[in-house]
Each structure stands twice: as C-alpha cells, then as structure tokens.
C-alpha cells in the first residue's frame, strides 16, 4: 500500500505548536507502520463530498485528516478539531479527468462566492462609468482549460475571471492550472501538459479515473503529494518545510532542466522566478542520467552555495550516490581548491589596503603625477587585474569597459610602469589577487584535455568577474551541456558590465527568460520593478525583457514611510514587526536589511524588546542574495546612505559614477524582493531618492 504526504499537511503541521507537532509525528509514524489505522481512532468525515476522508485523533483537540483507498493512504491535513473537519468537508481528492494528475480540489459549492477583496468605504465624487474589465480567458473553450488541469466544476469561474478577480480565484485552483493561466495572461500562450507526460499517466489510453500508481507518479501530483518510502524519509518530510524539499517545477522550468544544449546556455529572469531551482534540478538531472558524471554547482558566495547544497540533498538523498558527484561551492571556493591542488598551498590574497599602498609606492617610485590613488586602485581592479593584463602591449589595446575617462597611448604608457611595479611587489611578498588566481587557473586548465568536471552549472552568473568566467570556460569540457549559467542582470551588484562573447561564452540563441514569479507577491514585485528599466541589455546585445512577468499570488502593497528621526523610525518598525508576529509570521520568517554593517545596530535597536528578536535576521543588503522571508523591512533608506556617499566619492570617472548609482539601485531591488508577503521601507528625512520609485505610497511622519 502506498503511503503519501501532501503539502497541505506539511503547511498545516508547521503552524502547530511544538508540543502538538511531537504528538502528530508519533501518530503519523504509527500510521505508516500500520496503514489500516488500527492503532488510531479513525472516524469517517461524514459531511465530506469525498467518501475516502477519515479523521484520526492525535490528542484531545488535534485531528489528522487521512485519505484512504484500497491502494493508498494519504496524510492530507492536520489541525484543531473544527478546523480539520471543515477542511475535509470542503475538499475532494481525485485524478483530473484530462491530465491524470492527482489534485486536492476545493468543492465549488462549498466555497463562498468569489469576489474582489473588500475596499475602504470612502465618500468620493460620483465616478465616471467605467467599461467592465475584460474576461481574460473567455476565448478558451472547456477542452483548453481542462488541458491545463482546471477542475471541471471551476470552468465557469475561470472563464468569467478578469484581471481584478483572477488572483482571488487562483488561490482556489491547483497550482498547475493557476500557473498555466498566468502564463496565458502574460504571454498569450497556453502551455498544456507535454504529450509524453499525458501518455505516461494514461491507463489503456485513458487518464486514470482512480488514484492509481500512475496518477501518483504524475509530475504535477509530485508538486503537492510525496510518496514516502520508509521511516527515514518520513522523518525528513516532517523535519524540513515543504518548500525546502518539495522543489518541483513549472512546465516552462522543467523544459530548461531537461533540454540539451550544444554550447553554453543561460537562463534569466527577475527575482523569484526560479532560476536557482532550475540550476539545482539541472545539476541533479545530469548526475542521474550519467552515473559517472561529475558536476560542479557553483554560486557567488559560500552561504548561497550552502543553501543550494541543502536543496540538492532534498532532491537526491545521500544514499542515492548522486550527492557525492555534485560539488557545490562558491566561485572562490572551487578556485581555492584547484589552486591548492596545483600549487600545494592556499593563495595569499592581497587586501584593498595592501593594494592601495603598493600602488601608491609604485606611483611615487616612477614619479607619476596627475592620477589619484582612487583612480589607480579602480584602474587596477577593473581593468589591469580584472583582465589579466601583463604587458604594455596588452594594456595599450584593452577595451576599458565601463570606463568613461579615455586614456590615450601616452597616458597608458605613463601608467603601465606603476602596474608592472605593483605586480612585482606583490609577487615578491608572495601576495596574489583573486583575479590573478582565476586567470592563472584558466591558463592551466585551457591546456588540459582531461577536465575535473563533466558539467558546470553556475548560479548568480550576473556577478561573474571576467577572470572568473574565463576560468569556468577553461574548466568546462568540450561536450554538450558543459556550461549552464543562471542569473539576472537586474541583480548585478558586484561587477562592471562586459562582453561574455569576448571570452568565448556566447549564449545568444541559447538564452531563455523565465516569466512567472513564485516568491514575491504581485504588489511587491510590481513596486520593486520600478527600480529597474523594463528591458536590460548586456554588452553582447542579449536582452532581459522584464515586461510581462507575473506573480502567482496577491498580497498587501508595500509601505514606504519616512520620519524626522531614528527614534521615530525605530518605533514605527517595532510596531509593524509586532503586527507581523501577531498575524502568525514566525520570527525566523522576518528579515530586516540596512545598507552597511554599521547600520545593523540601528535595525537591532528597533526590535530588541520583541519576543523572538534573536531569531529575526538583520543584515546588510549585500548579504540579501539567496535569502527569502515572508516579511521584510528595509530600514535607514536615508539620503547619503542609499546611494552610499562613500561609494559616490570613490568614483574614478563619470561612467563609474553612473554604474555606482545603478548598482545601489539594484541593491535595494535585491533587498526588497526577498519579501514574499509584506514589505516595509523606511528612512529618515531627507530620504533616499530611490524611495520615490515605489510610487505615490510614501508616507511622511512627523
């Protein structure tokens, strides 16, 4: 008999108290050991439209909702007595008549009339008559709607839905149906199930009418219902939140995971569209298909790599032999490993302070005049060291991407002895730089036919430096699917733009943009998108089209408030965070971001007297990448802080100043899009000019 767990159960389980969770775990373990439920007090849910729903007593008040057939036991929900029974009475579980996927369907006649959310009762002038909003799906017939998994009794509601009512309706539909309809609303394309998926789910050429093994194996079933093989897997299911181990894919994402590419390929998309999930699934898929393949899965920082490693474990348990063949690490982490293998020691990296001093000494040694220390460090970091320039001839011809101050041949000739002396001084002290490490390793592996990895998957690729990209290109073998890159130009906060094609990485024709946002509400995503242009273009001409992106759920609009002082700001943030906690948001589901490490104390002071404050994340914005929270506050958005005056003052030329303004804007975008449901932005007057981009919702407080 199949034993399964639904995401509706794990979501409800995570809302229970710790004591109730322990009791539920014991009951679920008992049920797995004896699926007949003889050890539990089982009662049929009489008022349910589905005759297979039973309740199981956990303790005096908590009840499990179990769906039992002759072939399967599905743990569907858990809650306090009345809540659990009400949940079961409003639902049925069935195989969809067209797709064959098992769905947990809300019974239409038991759902209150779907309407737009309530609005404030304001006395306004008589409005002009408005044309009714057009129905989004009126042109789709029943066959088309059924093909994407819309339950039959919800067809009239879907066909009548307009832009205002659809997000409320979508909450009642199975995920694959609401996502496909969102895709249609955004692009005009209706993506039904692939033919091979439909065929695999069929029995004797027809979709399964009952909950068969084929129905439970359907990819859309696996988005919400997970088969549990043994006690160890059940323990994992009850330990990890659903979103941490149920990382299943939208059909458009699945295509990018499964597709084979003859050359380097890239997936793009705005924050929350699932780029990282695609990268992780692709790495696991490549490892599964070839039992001898070695895969490198790399991201910008070690915390991001650790987060990906946890998701890899979820998708591929350690016992399967896949995890040991996937090396998950940061860009610098893999470079350090390769450097140690080649040289037997770890690289001794020169800090910015060391570089600034050596450049100053070299400039004095050759009598260079007319160039500031700031310019020398910027030119070294962004041109000479970044591109691995080792000769005057190379420096004389290099394209200085992102540098507006033009340097003629005479000026470059004057500057070169400074950079040459700096290299010699660093080498004499056995110093190196990260760019030099990557450049040297690229030269080493470019000449080798045998490579340490068969496939390389890169996340956060928008922040790859030129030397890093050159290294990964050299590390990639000459074979299909050797190099796959995932990134968002809108989140580029660490690198000047440059041409990938100039380094041999041409993804034109193999670049794809994801259009459905899963992490962030429609309101937050729309507001954050105002910080960026609607179309982003890289140096090679590739475009990230941000128009037409849709979120899969609705939520409250972001709130922007400015104050006369930090004490008033702290009081307001404390009040809002207290409200989130009262609504049931857990402390570890709240993040507070500030621009610099020095401002973290300002954030901590705002929440220091709240219960669970020690579990609320408070970090600088540049550490926001890869994090996700139900609620986010971005504090200290003051003039002079965002953009940061220190960075503006350090700009070596006008082009670098423009880039600083853009990267500071992207920093705020990254921080804001960590929020799923709630977003608060605050600052002290005069506030950051970027807050204006969030629209006319800014509130000034005395």
State the pLDDT at residue 422.
Answer: 97
Q: What is the mean pLDDT of residues 570-588?
A: 93
Given the structure tokens 């802080």, which residue do they identify?
641
Q: Is residue 468 part of a domain?
A: yes
Tell me, yes or no, whether 537 lies in a domain.
no
Q: Is 171's pLDDT higher than 60?
A: yes
What mean pLDDT do residues 553-579 have?
Answer: 93
Helix ranges (H only) for 171-322 are: 175-187, 195-201, 213-216, 231-239, 242-245, 251-258, 275-289, 302-315
**Band of pLDDT at residue 192, cut at 50, 70 and 90:** low
Average pLDDT over residues 638-651: 83
Token pair 């956990």 in the structure block, residue: 58
DSSP 8-state symbol, 432: B
> pLDDT: is 201 or 552 the higher one?
552
Tell me, what's the pLDDT at 238? 67
Same domain, 392 and 464: no
- Six-digit token string for 341: 């293998």
- Residue 223 belongs to domain with CATH number: 3.30.2310.20
The yes-or-no verdict on residue 433 having pLDDT over 80 is yes
**What pLDDT score was predicted for residue 391?**
94
**87 pLDDT tier (thresholds 50, 70, 90):** very high
Residue 524 lies in a domain: no
Look up residue 526 and give its two tokens.
């729309």
Beta strand 675-684 pairing with 629-634: parallel
What residues are paired with 633 via a beta bridge?
A: 592, 680
User: Would you state the pLDDT for residue 121?
Assistant: 44
Residue 543 included in any domain: no
pLDDT at 487: 86
Tell me the Cα Rg of the chain: 28
Contacts of 701 (CB under 8 A, 6+ apart): 561, 562, 563, 564, 568, 572
Q: Is the dihedral of CA 607, 609, 610, 611 positive or negative?
A: positive
Distances, alpha carbon 251 to alpha carbons 41, 122, 157, 193, 194, in Å: 41, 43, 24, 8, 8
Tell me phi and psi for residue 397, to 5 degrees. Answer: -115, -10
Is 200 part of any domain?
A: no
Task: Tell me what percent of the residues of the chain surpass a pLDDT of 70.
Answer: 83
Beta bridge mates, 328: 297
Q: Of 165-169, 199-203, 458-462, which gets the smallest average pLDDT?
A: 199-203
**Same-domain status, 695 and 565:** yes
What pLDDT shows up at residue 79? 95
Range name among 147-156, 388-397, 656-665 with the lowest pLDDT average: 656-665
> Residue 695: what pLDDT?
58
pLDDT tens figures, 334-344: 999 999 999 99
Nearest to 621 by CA among 663, 676, 575, 578: 663
Roughly how many angstroms between the first and final C-alpha of the chain, as a whole number?
A: 65
Question: 160 and 92 in one domain?
Answer: no
Q: Are residues 360 and 499 in the same domain?
A: no
User: Do 324 and 225 sit in the same domain of this protein?
Assistant: no
d(CA 307, CA 328): 10
* 147/23 same-domain check: no
Q: Does the pLDDT of residue 239 top 90, yes or no? A: no
d(CA 5, CA 8): 9
- The better pLDDT of the pair 118, 560 is held by 560
Q: Which residues in 62-151 belong to E strands, given as ranges?
A: 62-68, 72-80, 91-95, 102-106
CATH code at 500? Answer: 3.40.50.300
Look at the block and give the residue holding tokens 């922040």. Answer: 463
How many CB atoms lie under 10 A from the CB of residue 329? Answer: 19
Q: Which residues pair with 135 in a beta bridge?
A: 162
Residue 142 in this model has a pLDDT that exceeds 50: yes
User: Within this chain, do residues 607 and 650 fall inside the same structural domain, yes or no?
Assistant: yes
Report the alpha-carbon distance of residue 399 to residue 382 in Å, rounded.
11
What letter would DSSP give residue 502? G
Residue 477 shares a structural domain with residue 340? yes
Q: Are 171 and 223 in the same domain?
A: no
Is residue 248 predicted with pLDDT exceeding 60?
no
Q: Using alpha carbons, list the distances in angstroms from residue 52 to 74, 98, 130, 415, 615.
A: 10, 22, 48, 80, 41
Domain count, the chain: 5
272: left (phi over 0), alpha (psi -120 to 50) or beta: left
Mean pLDDT throughout 670-681? 93
Contacts of 121 (CB under 8 A, 6+ apart): none
Q: Are 145 and 290 in the same domain?
A: no
d(CA 599, CA 217): 50
The whole-angstrom separation of Cα 285 and Cα 296 is: 13
User: Per the domain annotation, does 493 fall within a domain?
Assistant: yes
Cα–Cα distances in angstroms (integers) from residue 665 to residues 74, 528, 668, 699, in the given order: 47, 10, 5, 20
Q: How far is CA 439 from CA 417, 434, 502, in A?
A: 21, 9, 15
**Pick from 217, 239, 261: which residue ends a domain?**
239
Between 566-582 and 600-607, two packed helices, what is the crossing angle to 10 degrees? Answer: 60
DSSP collapsed to 3 states, 520-569: CCHHHHHHHHCCCCCEEECCCCCEEECCCCEECCCCCCCEEEEECCHHHH
Secondary structure of residue 235 in the 3-state scheme: helix
More confident residue, 554 or 50: 50
| Residue range(s) defining the domain that contains residue 442 | 251-344+437-515
Q: What is the pLDDT of residues 514-551, one digit of tens each?
A: 887 777 888 898 888 888 876 666 655 566 666 667 77
Average pLDDT, the chain: 84
> Looking at the predicted structure, is the pLDDT value of residue 204 above 50?
no
Please report the pLDDT score of residue 244 as a whole number: 47
Q: Answer yes or no: do 223 and 309 share one domain.
A: no
Query: Exposed, middle or buried by CB within 10 Å (0-12, 13-18, 19+), for 109?
Result: exposed
Residue 534 is assigned to a structural domain of this protein: no
Whether 198 is in a domain gets the answer: no
Q: Are 18 and 79 members of one domain?
A: yes
| pTM exceeds 0.75 | no
* Residue pLDDT, tens place only, 277-300: 899 999 999 999 999 999 999 998
Sheet containing strand 675-684, edge to edge, reads 617-620, 590-594, 629-634, 675-684, 559-563, 698-700
Task: Say yes or no to pLDDT of 399 above 80.
Answer: no
pLDDT interval class at 495 (50, 70, 90): low
């Amino acid at each position: 008999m199949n034993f399964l767990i639904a995401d509706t159960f794990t979501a409800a389980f995570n809302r229970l108290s710790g004591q109730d969770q322990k009791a539920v775990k014991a009951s679920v373990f008992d049920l797995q050991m004896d699926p007949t439920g003889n050890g539990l007090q089982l009662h049929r849910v009489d008022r349910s439209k589905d005759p297979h729903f039973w309740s199981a007593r956990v303790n005096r008040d908590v009840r499990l909702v179990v769906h039992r057939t002759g072939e399967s036991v599905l743990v569907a929900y858990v809650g306090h007595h009345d809540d659990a029974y009400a949940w079961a009475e409003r639902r049925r579980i069935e195989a969809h008549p067209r797709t064959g996927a098992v769905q947990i369907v809300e019974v239409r006649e038991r759902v209150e009339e779907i309407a737009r959310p309530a609005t404030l009762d304001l006395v306004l002038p008589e409005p002009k008559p408005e044309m009714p909003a057009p129905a989004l799906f009126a042109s789709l017939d029943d066959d088309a709607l059924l093909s994407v998994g819309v339950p039959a009794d919800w067809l009239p509601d879907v066909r009548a839905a307009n832009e205002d009512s659809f997000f409320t309706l979508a909450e009642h539909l199975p995920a694959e149906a609401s996502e496909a309809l969102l895709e249609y609303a955004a692009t005009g394309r209706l993506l039904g199930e692939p033919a091979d998926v439909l065929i695999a789910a069929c029995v004797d050429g027809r979709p399964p009418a009952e909950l068969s093994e084929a129905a439970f194996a359907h990819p859309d079933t696996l988005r919400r219902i997970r088969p549990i093989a043994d006690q160890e897997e059940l323990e994992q299911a009850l330990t990890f939140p659903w979103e941490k181990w149920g990382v299943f894919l939208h059909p458009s994402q699945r295509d990018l995971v499964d597709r084979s590419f003859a050359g380097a390929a890239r997936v793009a998309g705005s924050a929350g569209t699932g780029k990282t999930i695609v990268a992780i699934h692709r790495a696991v898929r490549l490892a599964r298909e070839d039992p001898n393949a070695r895969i490198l899965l790399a991201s910008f920082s070690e915390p991001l790599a650790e987060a990906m490693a946890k998701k890899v474990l979820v998708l591929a348990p350690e016992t399967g032999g896949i995890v040991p063949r996937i090396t998950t690490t940061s860009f610098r982490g893999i470079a350090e490993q390769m450097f140690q293998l080649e040289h037997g020691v770890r690289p001794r990296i020169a800090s910015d302070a060391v570089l600034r001093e050596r450049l100053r000494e070299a400039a004095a040694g050759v009598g260079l005049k007319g160039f500031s220390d700031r310019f020398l460090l910027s030119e070294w970091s962004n041109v000479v060291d970044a591109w691995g320039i080792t000769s005057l001839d190379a420096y004389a011809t290099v394209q200085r991407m992102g540098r507006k101050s033009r340097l003629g041949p005479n000026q470059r000739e004057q500057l070169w002895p400074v950079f040459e002396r700096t290299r010699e001084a660093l080498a004499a002290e056995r110093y190196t730089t990260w760019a030099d490490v990557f450049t040297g390793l690229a030269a080493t592996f470019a000449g080798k036919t045998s490579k340490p990895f068969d496939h390389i998957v890169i996340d956060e690729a928008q922040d790859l430096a030129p030397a890093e990209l050159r290294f990964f290109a050299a590390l990639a073998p000459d074979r299909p699917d050797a190099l796959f890159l995932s990134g968002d130009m809108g989140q580029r906060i660490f690198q000047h733009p440059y041409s990938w094609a100039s380094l041999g990485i041409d993804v034109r024709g193999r670049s794809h943009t994801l259009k459905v946002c899963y992490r962030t509400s429609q309101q937050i995503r729309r507001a954050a998108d105002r910080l960026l242009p609607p179309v982003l273009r890289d140096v090679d001409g590739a475009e990230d089209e941000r128009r037409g992106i849709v979120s899969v759920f609705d939520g409250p609009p972001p709130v922007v408030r400015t104050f006369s002082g930090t004490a008033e700001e702290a009081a307001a943030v404390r009040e809002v965070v207290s409200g989130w906690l009262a609504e049931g948001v857990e402390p570890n589901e709240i993040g507070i971001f500030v621009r610099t490490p020095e401002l973290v104390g300002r954030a901590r002071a705002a929440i220091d007297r709240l219960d669970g404050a020690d579990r609320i994340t408070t970090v600088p914005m540049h550490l926001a990448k890869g994090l996700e929270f139900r609620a986010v506050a971005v504090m200290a958005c003051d003039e002079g802080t965002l953009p940061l005056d220190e960075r503006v003052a350090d700009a070596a030329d006008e082009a670098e100043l423009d880039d600083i303004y853009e990267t500071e804007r992207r920093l705020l975008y990254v921080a804001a899009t960590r929020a799923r449901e709630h977003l608060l932005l605050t600052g002290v007057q005069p506030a950051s000019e970027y807050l204006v981009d969030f629209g006319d919702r800014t509130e000034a407080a005395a």
